Chain A
Amino acid sequence: MPIYSQTYRTYDGTLRRHFRWWTVAEQELRLLARARIFKGLVLIALLHCLFYVLIILLNEVYRSNQELFRQSGLGFLTQVREFMVDERLFYMFLRFQSGLAFLILIYAGSGAISNDFVNNLMEVYFAKPLTWIDYTLGKCCALVLLGLSLTALPAVLFLALHNALLADLDQLAANWWWGPASVGFASAIVVPAALCVLAASALSRSQRYAAIAVFMVVIASSTMGVLLAQMLRDPQYLIVSVPMVVNRIGLACFRQRGYLTRIDLGLSLGMLVLVCVTAFWIICRAVRRAEVAA
């Protein structure tokens, strides 16, 4: 009998009891994959990745045809730092990609919880054997995975490509740490951003307001950090600015130096943990309240 002509009948299949959070995450990613704006933003992020792939390829071509390049007047390329494949290239990639990833996370996450509240879906979801922990974990997981797949994943793939082209184990022994450093910096970019966006989404009943709120917090914290640091002539006050704290951790991951290295690393990590814990607490509180009303 075709499905469309079947009527109500008993269900005798087995029900899975675990990993419901993954179902939530999967659905979130599925919904995002259908949105045109999301696809456009991801495409821009991928173009940025492509640019770095070209740099790595160009670098390899140059390395194997140095004489040819010199003769054709392109020898100056060795002097351009941006075209050298080193830890700085990975740091720069992640730094620029962080802006795009942040935009994508805001688009993806600002409606993740608020839309469920507005459309009264929480009651339906929690009437099923789904706990607030599953729900929260699923939403966080979806955004963190999305963010990491736009930042850490390409960086690790670049490293693999670079080493594959070099085919030199000595080089690999020297640059293997770029991988963990990329994952570390990418996590510092993605996790706080994802949690903050979800926290705003949990507090607001409008996707738009949630997005605006996150932008405002980022801009306000940065402005405040710079103002305090300038007025009190102490760069430690830049710790108030979340983007700068993230950058400070990036510099530390890739052993780079810059103005922001004046900020204490321990304090920066503490600040980031504080932001993440606060945002996570806000999400848990709002979602738990939907499951347990009184």
Chain B
Amino acid sequence: MALIELEDVRVAYGDLVALDGVSCAIEGGAVGLLGPNGAGKSTLIRTLLGFNRASSGRVSLFGKAMPRHALEVRLGIGYMPEREVSSPKVSAVNFLTYCGRLIGMSYLDAMERAHEALSYVRLGDSRYRLMETYSTGMLQRVKLAQALIHDPKLVLLDEPTNGLDPTGRIQMLDLIRDIAGRRGVAVLLSSHLLPDVQHVCDRVIMINNGRIVQEGRIDELTTPRDDLFEVRVRDREAVFCAALDRAGMVWKAERGGNLIVSPGNGAGTSEISNLKSQISEAARAAGTHIRHFRPVRRSLEEAFMDAVGRG
């Protein structure tokens, strides 16, 4: 049974369709929800929580239909919203205790968990300070802590690194990776920042204009390309480049002495499949040896741009 199942889900705000025929299944692990601003990422998360009702389609979490079983489902979900959350006149400990009690914990349990969760997100020293004195980074940590207080099976994180400085961002991502690494805690991380997703997730769902345009494992999406090679020759680089030109190939010099070689514009399937042999031929013609030769891996950014372009 998949943790999250969406089947042809459509969500609209009046005339504006935010999600259009979204279908996917998430088994667990750390999954990134990628998409440009306004793509429908937050709407998807809010639909999973039951805040947005699908006008058609089926949403289920832990095998339970939403929003009918919203209360049961929410017991197993931790949610970190995108917007800044603060309860200015209370301390983080009190705020988290209250959150724990809303979930149904006894006062003592909630208090104990509040301390644990705050220690975990490294807010131990400041936990008794009023939240109005907290920096953005500290408020982000409180948001994460409140999502974890009841030890959920699934954590939904909406742009968790918003407003963080580089150090804070790395610390936050490390925390999320740690949560995802723990057995049974699935993470759905929504972000428009590709490095954040790459840092934490092993799977991505790319969304654009309310539709899923690409999904899969990151290592599959970033497969080596067969039409682009990274080449370095021993010597006579200028002669080698001239040989490439003569063979109709396109090359680009990179830092470190590598050349990125691809077949010329309008190259057909046969040219692409012969590219390796054509490069060796050019090296032989230039009277040099190839020292480094490897296919260029497609970056997640390229995969994303391709997918979004298609969407």
Q: Do A and B bind each other?
A: yes
CB-CB under 8 A from B86, the residues of chain A are 119-121
Q: Among the listed A8, A23, A126, which residue makes an inter-chain contact with B148, where contact means beta carbons less than 8 Å apart?
A: A8
A291 contacts chain B at the CB level, 8 A cutoff: yes
Tell me if A6 and B116 are in contact (CB < 8 A).
Answer: yes
- A8 B116 Cβ-Cβ under 8 A: yes
Which residues does chain A contribute within 8 Å of B67, judged by CB atoms? Answer: 292
A11: contacting residue among B13, B49, B88, B150, CB under 8 A: B150
Pair B71/A8 contact, Cβ less than 8 Å: no
Residue of A5, A16, A23, A125 contacting most chain B CB atoms (<10 Å): A23
A209 to chain B, nearest CB (A): 18
| Interchain CB contact under 8 A, B85 and A5 | no
> With A7-B120, A15-B150, A119-B88 known to touch, is A23 a contact of B71 (CB < 8 Å)?
no
Give the residue name and chain of the B residue nearest to A8 (CB): B120
Given the complex, which residues of A lie within 8 Å of B104, measured CB to CB? 15-17, 20, 129
Please indicate the chain B residues that have their CB under 8 angstroms from the CB of A6 in the complex: 115-116, 119
Known interface pairs A31-B90, A293-B46, A294-B52; A4-B79 also in contact (CB < 8 Å): no
State A9–B178 Cα separation when bound (angstroms).
Answer: 12
Within 8 A of A (CB), among B114-144: 115-117, 119-120, 124, 143
Do A13 and B105 form a contact, CB below 8 Å, given A8-B182, A31-B90, A119-B86?
yes
- Minimum CB–CB distance for A62 against chain B, Å: 47
* Contacting residues, chain A, for B103 (C-beta < 8 A): 15, 128-129
The answer on a CB contact under 8 Å between A23 and B101 is: yes
Q: Are B79 and A124 in contact (CB under 8 A)?
A: yes
CA gap between A10 and B78 in the complex, in Å: 13
Flag A11-36 by CB within 8 Å of B: 1 or 0 each: 10101110010011001000100110
B98 in the interface, Cβ–Cβ < 8 Å?
A: yes
Cβ–Cβ contact A8 & B179, under 8 A: yes
A127 interfacial by beta-carbon distance below 8 Å: yes
Contact present for B79 and A127 (CB under 8 Å): yes
**Least Cβ–Cβ distance between B126 and chain A, in angstroms:** 13
What residues of A have a CB within 8 angstroms of the CB of B150 in the complex? Answer: 11, 15, 128
- The yes or no answer to A130 lying at the interface (CB within 8 A) is yes
Chain A residues within 8 Å of B90, by CB: 31
CB-based nearest B residue for A20: B102
Residue of B nearest to A116 (CB): B87
Task: Please tell me the size bucket of the interface on A.
Answer: 35 or more
Report the Cα distance A3→B96, complex, angstroms.
Answer: 15
CB <8 Å contact, A4 and B119: yes
Chain B CB within 8 A of A131 CB: yes
Q: Which residue, of B52, B85, B120, has the highest number of chain A Cβ atoms within 10 A?
A: B85
Most chain A C-beta atoms within 10 Å of own C-beta, residue among B99, B103, B178: B103
Within 8 Å by CB of B116, from A3, A24, A128, lies A3
Give CA–CA (A180, B101) in the complex, Å. 35
Residues B74 and A294 in contact, CB atoms below 8 Å apart: no
Q: Once bound together, how far apart are the Cα atoms of A128 and B120, in whole Å?
A: 20
Q: Please provide the chain B residues from 51 to 104 with a CB less than 8 Å away from any CB of chain A in the complex.
A: 51-53, 67, 70-72, 74-75, 77-79, 81, 83-90, 98-99, 101-104
A127 near B83 (CB under 8 angstroms)?
A: no
Q: Chain A contacts of B115 at CB under 8 A? A: 3-4, 6
B113 within 8 A of A: yes
- Give complex CA distance A206, B151 in Å: 34
Q: Say whether, besides A8-B182, A119-B87, A23 and B119 are in contact (CB < 8 Å).
A: no
Measured in the bound complex, the distance between the Cα atoms of B150 and A7 in whole Å is 14
Contact B109 A13 (CB under 8 A): yes
| Cβ of B12 under 8 Å from chain A | yes
- Is there a chain B Cβ closer than 8 Å to A82's Cβ? no
B146 at the interface (CB under 8 A from A): yes
Q: B106 interface residue, CB < 8 Å from A? A: yes
Most buried by B among A3, A5, A128: A128
A60 → chain B closest CB, angstroms: 43
Q: Mark A252-294, 1 if CB is under 8 A from B, else 0.
A: 0000000000000000000000000000000000000001111
In the bound complex, residues from chain A placing their C-beta under 8 Å from that of B106 are 13, 16
Whether, in the assembled complex, B11 has its beta carbon less than 8 Å from a beta carbon of chain A, the answer is: yes
Q: Is A234 an interface residue, CB under 8 A from the partner? A: no
| Chain B 11-36 interface 0/1 with A at a Cβ cutoff of 8 Å (1 = within) | 11100001000000000000000000
Q: How far is the CB of A34 from chain B (nearest CB, A)?
A: 7
Q: A123 at interface (Cβ–Cβ under 8 A)?
A: yes
Interchain CB contact under 8 A, B12 and A294: yes
How far apart sit A231 and B270, CA to CA, in the bound complex (Å)? 97
Determine how close the nearest CB of chain A comes to the CB of B75; give it in whole angstroms. 5
A119 near B124 with CB under 8 A, answer no
Residue of A nearest to B127 (CB): A4
Known: A11-B105, A128-B150. 6 other contacts (CB 8 A): A13-B105, A121-B87, A123-B51, A127-B81, A292-B52, A293-B46
16 A–B contacts, CB within 8 A, in A order: A3-B116, A8-B182, A9-B116, A13-B106, A20-B102, A23-B102, A119-B88, A120-B85, A121-B87, A123-B51, A123-B85, A124-B99, A124-B143, A125-B102, A292-B50, A294-B12
A→B interface (CB under 8 Å): 3-11, 13, 15-17, 20, 23-24, 27, 31, 34-35, 119-121, 123-131, 291-294
Binding site for A on B (CB under 8 A): 11-13, 18, 46, 49-53, 67, 70-72, 74-75, 77-79, 81, 83-90, 98-99, 101-106, 109, 112-113, 115-117, 119-120, 124, 143, 146, 148, 150-151, 178-179, 182
**Which 5 pairs between the two chains have the least Cβ-Cβ distance?**
A15-B104, A127-B79, A11-B151, A16-B104, A8-B120
